[in-house]
Structure 1
Amino acid sequence: MLTNEQLQEKLLQLSYEKKQLERFKFLNDLILSGLNAILSSDKHEQIFQKLFAVIHEVINCQHIILLVVDEKQQHLELLRSTNEQLSEIPIPLENLQNLTHSTLNFFNVKGLAWWDDYFAVTFDEVHSVLSHPFHTSQSHYVLLLLSDKRGAFSAQIQELLSSFTSFVANTLTQVETRRLISERDQLLQRQHRIEQSLLQQEKMASLGQLAAGVAHELNNPLGFIYSNLNTLKVYLADLEKVLKASQVPDASSLLKQTGSAIDVNFLLNDGKDLIDESLEGARRARDIINNLRSYSHPDDKKTTQMPLNQLLDSAVKIAKTQIKHNSVLQLTLSEANPSVIVNANQLNQVILNLIINANQAVSEGKGLINITSGQEASHCYFEIIDNGSGIPIEAQTRIFEPFFTTKDVGQGTGLGLSLSKAIIDQHGGQIELKHTGPSGTAFRVTLPVVIA
């Protein structure tokens, strides 16, 4: 049986434990609210805005101020305040040095130099200030709670604020660490992309020099081969007259015998085929060399201002003669008809390359190629869309590489798209594979518009 004194002592102990539990529950709720505020925010400004709201809910104060220490400039800067009228003039660190080291509870700030100099004008009704510094891995902060009552902040509130800000500091440090790791990873990825880009540029520069040298070395021999074949074609035509003369009735017996022995008709027909095939091969080689030379030097400075629609219409007229048996061309031009400053020959080459590529991608005799133009703000564009089978996934990232082609041997040099990209880059524009799939492929070329 407990005595009255023992019962009173037990009640006091239970009362104390109850207050402790309530205090821990209160702090736990505060920390959970603070954690939610931090995790639900992307930026520091949003984090502190929500933390201010959490503090307001549990501590009776009129205003909250958050200062951050600028170690380099040796001053305190206003990071955030519940009163937007507070001046953002930097405060010399020496004037508020004591606030950055320990928690201070001012029962009445009236008459304090630092208060009168920087805060009194904005907060003329404030008497009590609770100041608390806290650190994260990246920053040093000073939190000020303001009240219009004297001695508004008790030791319990001071202890509560200290525990809460310690948690906030630790959590923010983890957030900042994760952010730094993320930024580091992004910087490393960016560095890797830049290194790869520089490596690719070096390869392209080397390739350009190689292409220029190869083109120069091959151009002369191919020139006289092409010229000699044309001359031989003329000679064969003259020889044809002599050989056919061996087949007339009054030809000499020796001429007839010779003509019969060499099979004149076969020689003439096969000779023509051989020369035509040789000329076609020489022409292809010449075109490859011209493309190589253009790829090596896509920087012709001769430009002129022209309407985009006119360029498209001109290129389409040329292309129609080459693809009319395989594809139907549909041209839909923008009513705005924007003007661009371009090298007309080079841009025509780009348009023709894209049309020829589209024609080669479609089913024989069933091709449909749509060409549209338009304008968006300071840029204009044209799109070339086909109904072909699309570009394989593994090839999509390489289509602008020199000499890469998905066509059969002899059907393409792999320079069309790479040369087109070099030309469009030179014009300050962009060429991109907009989409591709079983139903077709679309390329978009964007160019700067001439501002009137």
Structure 2
Amino acid sequence: MPSVEKLMEKVVELTFERDNALLHVRLNQLLQKGLDAILSSDTLEDTFSKFFGVMAEGVKFDSAVLLRLESGHFTLIASQNASDWPQQADLGCDTLAAALSGRHAVPVFNLLLLPEWGPHIIHWWPQIHSALFQRIHTRDQQFLLILGSGSVAAFGPSEEKIVGQFISFVASTIASVENKKLYMVSQSLKERQQRIEQSLLQSEKMASLGQLAAGVAHELNNPIGYLLSNIHMFQTYLTIFKSLLHNYQLLCEEHQSEQVKLQARQQINALYQKENVAFLLEDSDTLIADSVEGAIRVRDIVQSLRRFSHPDTDQIELVNLNDSIESTIKIISGEIKHSLLLKKQLFPDALYVMGKSNQISQVFLNLMMNARQAITHDHGELVISSGILGEEAWVALEDNGTGIAPQHMSRLFEPFFTTKDVGKGTGLGLSLCHSIMLQHSGRIEVQSELGVFSRFTLYFPLSHPA
């Protein structure tokens, strides 16, 4: 008989362990589904809408609300089957806090017996008779989860235990969703900042081109002018060449009469006596070569302008700094060639960096224009040099202009800071240069002596073509 009793005890013990094991399996399944709810949701409301559905598989309830405790009232965060709940509710916060003090969960068998809540509950939850109150703590906030049932005494110790197992996960859920929300807001702000910076950069480009318009027009006008002159002169030469060719053709045609051939010889002799044909042939080669050079000059200027003025894209490419310098000089040459002497001391080989060609050209153009504006005397000089230092490529622009006052050095890259007269500067040029260099993982170093010189040195991470 004792053996039977021991066997029965063992059966009870195993049954209890089995039930606990099944409960843990069920809880783990519910937690996994809860995690899936978090990963597939973007808002706190959407997350808990799915989360309530997951909890319903472990605890039977008819309605649920999630409230956040604020000063003197609760704010509704999420709900299920509780459409009449107000956005804010005074549920006797102090009384409720005292009731939950030292406990995580409080089951209420009959809500109508609560004197402070009766009228509110009848109005908000007319079909609910019992509830389970679950306190939730996060790092800096307090929440209250209320599960409601249409039955009296629907929540007992087992439901309290299951919901209690969810508490840490619910708190983590709230924190995760809030962090995700903050991350999304942060990303939105970053995208907005990028759009603003792109807009400012494009505006600065257009402003720069506006200041350079007269110089660029002059640079285009010169080659176009001698192109037209050369073409007009070559048209005159071509008339003489066509006349000579026509008469030589008559001499070569056997069916022509001797009289026609005699007239052709006379006209050829007359043209040779009147025109220096040998010089015209030699000068034609010069006219064509000069015209080709002028056309290439116009093409290079137009291509440089197109590349510079085109809106930036997100494409990162291999950029040769020396080519970018030369391209920028073609744009600004009309502006600077009459006001300063430009000297180039560029690295003999290509200097490759990874970046956006338009933005790098914008930095060079802004610094060249600043150098030109800083030179107010008639012996101005701008030296542009480049080279390699360790794993960095550098470009330096040094002018012998007015220099920078010591008290202004620390503010050079502040947006809208300028020492120029009103209407002559936006204060965005150096700020954009600094921003672009940071985006290219580079930096700017400035050296200056008031009234003597200014030197801006740009450092880029060096890249090697594959």
* TM-score of the two chains, using structure 1 as the length reference: 0.48
* TM-score of the two chains, using structure 2 as the length reference: 0.47
